[in-house]
Amino acid sequence: MNPIIRRMLTGPLDVNCYIVGCPQTRECVIIDPGGHGERIIETLEELNLRPFALLDTHGHFDHIGGNAYLMAHADSLRLYLHSDDLQYLRNAREHADYWNMSFEDSPEPTHLLGGGEEIEMGSLLFKILHTPGHSPGGISILLPGHVFTGDALFEGSIGRTDLPGGKHDLLVSSIREKLLVLPGDTIVHPGHGPETTIAQEIQSNPFIRRR
C-alpha cells in the first residue's frame, strides 16, 4: 500500500514540508516543518493523520521554524535531527535575525541521528542517509520509491555550500554515493522546488554529472 504524501510550502522561504502517512495506522511523520505550524495541524486533521515524529533534514532556521508549535500541540511527538547539526538548531534564531526574519526557538531533539538508522511507523520503514555538504549533519530520508533530500539535491541543482559548514566536494560526494545509487525511478522530494527523479538528475543535473 502506497504511503500518503502531502507537500506544503511553509515558512518565509517556502520550504517544502512533507507529511508522510501510513494508510493503515494513520500515523505520520512531518519532514522539515519550515513554519505555519497551525496550518500543518489543520492539514493533519483534514487527512485524518496523527503525528508520530518530526524529521528535520538539517538544522537551518528555514527548515525547523515549525518545530516549536508542533511539539507544543502534539502529545509525545518525537523530534529527530543529526547530531552534527545540533549547533545549527541551537543557533537558528541568530541566523534568522541576520536575514531579518522572525523565528521561534526549536525544542531540543528527542533523538539524535548518526546516519544508517531505520525508523518504523506502521507499515512504513524510513531509512536515514547521512548526506552532508550543505550542512555537516544533513540527512536524506529514504522510503521505497521515494527519497526526501532536504537541501542536498534539487531538480537540476544542489544545495548551497557557501553557508557555515558547507563543503561543495563533500556534498557532491554525498549525492553520488548515497543518492545516485538508488533506483532511477525513485522520486526525489527536495527541500525547495519541484520533485524530480534519480534518473532525471543523473541524466541532466550539471552539478553532479561526471565529466
> pLDDT, tens digit, for every residue of 73-108?
988 899 999 999 999 999 999 888 888 888 889 999
- The answer to the question of residue 142 being in a domain is yes
Is residue 211 over pLDDT 70?
A: no
- The answer to the question of residue 210 being in a domain is no
Is residue 19 over pLDDT 90?
A: yes
Q: Which of 59, 57, 81, 11 is nearest to 174 (CA)?
A: 57
Whole-structure pTM value? 0.97
Instruction: Give the domain CATH number at 160.
Output: 3.60.15.10
The domain total for the chain is 1
Is residue 210 over pLDDT 70?
A: no
* Percent of residues in the chain assigned helix, strand, coil, to nearest 5: 25, 30, 45
Place of cell 529527530: 80
- The answer to the question of residue 209 being in a domain is no
- The answer to the question of residue 211 being in a domain is no
- Residue 161 belongs to what domain range? 4-204
